[in-house]
Amino acid sequence: MIYLLHQLLSEAADRDPSKEAVRCGGASLSYGELEAAANGIARTLIEGGVGRGDRVGIHLPKRVELLPAVYGTLRAGAAYVPLDPAAPVHRLALVASDCAVAAVITTPARAAALLGALGGHVPRLFVLVDDGAHVELTAPSVPYAVATADASATDPMVPAIEADLAYILYTSGSTGTPKGVMLTHRNALAFVEWSASRIGVGSEDRLSNHAPLHFDLSVFDLYLAAMGGATLVPIPDEDAYFGTALARTIREEGITVWYSVPSALILLSRLVRERDAFPTLRAVVFAGEVYPTRHLRELRRMVPRAVLWNIYGPTETNVVTYHRVRHLPEDDRTIPIGRACENSEVFALKEDGTPAGVGEEGELHVRGPTVMRGYWGRKERTAEVLVPNPLAPELGELVYRTGDLVRLREDGEYDFLGRRDHQIKSRGYRIELGEVEATMNAHPAVDQAVAVAVPHDEWGRAIVAWVQPREGQTLSVNDVKRHVARRLPRYMVPSRVHIMQQLPRTSTGKIDRQQLLRESSPDRAGVA
């Protein structure tokens, strides 16, 4: 019976220890080697004072050592906390201090930088993956090579149950302070088990790992591969948003299952023009942001034989709805986020707290085993989003308020409308910024577009748009405004439009709305 994430590795290693488990940057590990390395890391952490329930920071770029770090942490009875390799060191120090990491698995240079920024809190141990740097640390450390040297190392068998914390993923907070989402072994396994039942995975599969470890999409890649005894192929950080590198990886590695944010696939389809360009791909899964239908048509051209899956779920819930893309709308309507995954339930509530019926708008709520335990050290914030089930208070259970607005379709699936906090009032009108974005994205010369709201003296809020033109296309501010004005009411036309050759992105590949907001000074000029 599998009830812990690291048991997936044990099962795979028992079935076929010589099977390649991970390949990255020219290096690889078999399942047997991965098992032994994870055991060595676990024992090193325990000997260094890491106990059950402790947090271990993992601060590594994409490389094969990442997997032993993850599984070794879990086998020590601890929870791993991914530290974004691309984030400023002061933010990493904030995260490490917030959850009081007991140890950090990283490189010498990164360890030195982190120690310099940590201030009062110092981890008890650093496990150092060689990066060629020669630094003197002021904290106890063990080389990764020493920790994993014993190929006969056994699992320390630390007692654990499915309700124990497995990892904490830090997401952006509205106050500017990151908040840690606590996920248990059961939370993750429920999603991985569903993925295996729908998408399937076997030892012949080769799964990409495009998402960084601190992004929840990585859960699918790491653990679904282990569940099926498949090979995981992490995409190096420097290749993640270069279309030629992505195309080369899919072809040379024979990738069969791909999972990423839409922006990576849009980049790929923009570069690769031939039909049926990647015949090894049997499943393409995307999540994290809306996939414009126009770009989906290009994806379908590129992989006509692959099954396409649109899956949805905030970090706080893993994935909770899915839509298998069988037919694309003839117009530019976006595809739905679908229906609830098995063993999960979703429902939408209107502003008055009553269930939203067919055609009605409401906030999506989630119940089921994938819902997080809560936010680390933030009981008040947790209580705001994990609330008693309003439809069945007698159950004594908590459901998650997503903050996402949806509309129930006649076929029982949901359309995603946008964030509750992306809905604004301007000049007395209620406006969904997602509708403005969808309209701009339908322009044939627009690659991607974002709408943000800024304070306005007279209107309360004004809409500012940022638009990235398609490669080789010429696009003017007036082109965008005229396009929106022909399709939406005048009060929904952006007051300012910025043409930008490349929209900024976060380290997870999503459009960086916070940066765009910072660059949008309050609009006081009225509608141009």
Model confidence over 80-128: pLDDT tens digits? 999 999 888 988 999 999 999 999 999 999 999 999 999 878 999 999 9
My answer on whether 77 and 176 are in the same domain is yes
Which regions of 50-177 does DSSP assign to beta strands (E)?
55-59, 79-82, 103-106, 125-128, 141-143, 165-171
My answer on whether 353 and 333 are in the same domain is yes
My answer on whether 364 and 507 are in the same domain is no
Within-domain flag for 203: no
Within-domain flag for 106: yes
Of the residues 142, 159, 185, the one at which a domain ends: 185
pLDDT for residue 209 is more than 50 = yes
The parent domain of residue 464 ranges over: 427-519
Structural domain count of the chain: 3
Give whichever of 66-75, 112-121, 420-429, 468-477 has the largest mean pLDDT: 66-75
My answer on whether 169 and 302 are in the same domain is no
My answer on whether 339 and 470 are in the same domain is no
> Shortest CA distance to 82 belongs to which of 219, 240, 199?
219
The structure tokens listed for 454 are 């800024």
Distance between first and last Cα of the chain: 64
Within-domain flag for 359: yes
Q: Average pLDDT, stretch 60-72?
A: 97
Over pLDDT 90: what percentage of the chain? 74
> Shortest CA distance to 208 belongs to which of 306, 138, 91, 121?
306
Residue 367, helix vs strand vs coil: strand
- What's residue 332's pLDDT? 81
**pLDDT tens digit sequence for 283-294:** 999 998 889 898
Within-domain flag for 215: no
- What's residue 525's pLDDT? 36
Phi and psi at residue 37, in whole multiples of 5°?
-65, -40
Q: Where is pLDDT greater, at 279 or 425?
A: 279
**pLDDT tens digit sequence for 308-367:** 999 999 999 999 999 999 999 888 889 999 999 999 999 999 999 999 999 999 999 999
- What's residue 526's pLDDT? 37
pLDDT for residue 524 is more than 50 = no
**pLDDT tens digit sequence for 215-269:** 999 999 999 999 999 999 999 988 988 899 999 999 999 999 999 988 899 889 9
Within-domain flag for 60: yes
Task: Output DSSP code: residue 242.
Answer: -
Provide the CATH number for the domain around residue 442: 3.30.300.30
Provide the CATH number for the domain around residue 115: 3.40.50.980
Of the residues 369, 399, 417, the one at which a domain ends: 417
> Shortest CA distance to 181 belongs to which of 49, 51, 313?
313
- What's residue 290's pLDDT? 85
The structure tokens listed for 99 are 């959850």
Within-domain flag for 209: no
CA gap 3, 55 in Å, rounded: 20
pLDDT for residue 305 is more than 80 = yes
Of the residues 117, 151, 185, the one at which a domain ends: 185
Provide the CATH number for the domain around residue 339: 3.40.50.12780
Per-residue pLDDT band for 45 (boundaries 50, 70, 90) equals very high
My answer on whether 33 and 177 are in the same domain is yes
- What's residue 128's pLDDT? 97
CA gap 57, 73 in Å, rounded: 9
My answer on whether 383 and 312 are in the same domain is yes
> Shortest CA distance to 289 belongs to which of 314, 306, 318?
314
CA distances to 183, 299, 522 from 231, in Å:
25, 24, 50
DSSP string spanning 324-342? EE----SSSPPPP-BEEPT
Instruction: Please list, residue by residue across 145-176, b when 16 or more beta carbons sit within 10 angstroms of its beta carbon and e when fewer do.
Output: eebbeeeebebeebebebebbbbbbbbeeeee
- What's residue 521's pLDDT? 59
Range of lowest pLDDT (16-20, 264-268, 276-280, 427-431): 427-431
My answer on whether 148 and 249 are in the same domain is no
**pLDDT tens digit sequence for 173-184:** 544 578 999 999
CA distances to 106, 120, 121, 374 from 94, in Å:
17, 11, 10, 19
CA gap 239, 255 in Å, rounded: 15
Within-domain flag for 227: no
DSSP string spanning 437-503? HHHHHTSTTEEEEEEEEEEETTTEEEEEEEEEEPTT----HHHHHHHHHTTS-GGGS-SEEEE-SS-
Can you list the alpha helix ranges (DSSP code H) found in 209-362?
Answer: 218-228, 243-253, 262-271, 293-302
My answer on whether 412 and 468 are in the same domain is no
My answer on whether 413 and 443 are in the same domain is no
- What's residue 241's pLDDT? 84
Per-residue pLDDT band for 522 (boundaries 50, 70, 90) equals low
**pLDDT tens digit sequence for 51-63:** 999 999 999 999 9
- What's residue 379's pLDDT? 96
Name 248's Cβ contacts closer than 8 Å, sequence gap at least 6: none
The structure tokens listed for 520 are 């949008």
> 0.75 exceeded by the pTM?
yes
Residue 236, helix vs strand vs coil: coil
Mean pLDDT of the chain: 92
Per-residue pLDDT band for 427 (boundaries 50, 70, 90) equals low
Give whichever of 164-178, 410-424, 465-479 has the largest mean pLDDT: 465-479
My answer on whether 370 and 264 are in the same domain is yes
Distance of CA 281 to the CA centre of its chain: 21
> Shortest CA distance to 50 belongs to which of 92, 80, 9?
80
Within-domain flag for 104: yes
My answer on whether 331 and 431 are in the same domain is no
